[in-house]
Structure 1
Amino acid sequence: MIKLVYCITRKDGMSRADFLKTWLEDHGPLVKSYAETIGAKRYVQSHTGMDEINESFIPTRGLKQPYDGITEIWWDSLEAMQAGSTSDAGKAAARALLEDEKRFIEFSKSAVFMTEEHEIF
């Protein structure tokens, strides 16, 4: 299994409540509507919370403020992900998802990368 990990920061000036509502109630269903087209097997949003605990990690590790959340999308293989993203329908889905993300994600403060999972326990 491979996974896309997207560490997300909300748009400057957007309230946390509006960001979470947009991400969960608008963007989540949009991603789900394209899941078969892009060949995705699983999609999870993890919303950052527990601010006091998160802030306690900063001085002990020299970290910056946490992201507002992460998205994870799984595919069975790299080939499955590539097949879903290179078809005409997959390219159209990617464009639609990017346009929607522009409404609530501050790209310059976010990060996205592909991973290969290695389950330890």
Structure 2
Amino acid sequence: MIKITFCLTRLPHLTREEFQSYWRQTHAPLVAARAELLKIRRYVQSHSLPDEAFAALAASRGGPPAYDGVAELWWDRIEDLGSDDPAVRKAGLELLEDERKFIDLTRSPLFLVEEHQIV
């Protein structure tokens, strides 16, 4: 399977709680409603915990600020990601338009991966 991993940073005017609430309650149903058309096999949201929950761990590693969440989407084949079908393109654009309402896309990297399960 092919997976997109999307490391999400919220728009600056949103709190983490507002961002995560919108993502789960508004955006997730939009993805679910289009999943079959877009051939999405699985969609998982990982919501980051409040900063104080992991402040010591983050400080010990010296890394960048945490993301507000991570979205993971799976497809059977890479060919399932693109389509000339106008309905598929429309569904993808609808999701992108909604993402612009709560995600700072310029600070939210996304990449294709192939999983290698170790444990």
Q: Which runs of 5+ in 1 are unaligned?
A: none
Structure-1 residue corresponding to 2:116:
118
Tell me the TM-score normalized by structure 1. 0.90
Amino acid in structure 2 at the alignment position of 1:96: E
Choose which of 107, 110, 117 in structure 2 pairs with 1:109: 107
Work out whether 1:3 is the aligned partner of 2:3: yes
Q: Which runs of 5+ in 2 are unaligned?
A: none
Q: Secondary structure at the match of 1:18?
A: helix
In 1, Cα distance between equivalents of 2:49 and 2:11: 17
In 2, Cα distance between equivalents of 1:52 and 1:31: 30
* Structure 1 residue 50 displacement after superposition: 4.9
Work out whether 1:29 is the aligned partner of 2:29: yes
Structure with more helix by fraction: 1
Matched residues, number: 119
* Structure 1 residue 64 displacement after superposition: 1.0
In 1, Cα distance between equivalents of 2:99 and 2:40: 18
Structure-1 residue corresponding to 2:47:
47
Q: Secondary structure at the match of 1:34?
A: helix
Cα deviation, 1:57-100, whole Å, max 9, x if unaligned, reads: 33332201100000000001112223xx4421111011100100
In 1, Cα distance between equivalents of 2:5 and 2:45: 10
1:88-107 correspondence to structure 2 within 5 Å: 88-107=86-105
Q: Secondary structure at the match of 1:80?
A: helix
CA contact (8 A) 1:54 1:66 kept: no
Tell me the TM-score normalized by structure 2. 0.92
Cα deviation, 1:24-82, whole Å, max 9, x if unaligned, reads: 00000000011011100000000000523432233332201100000000001112223
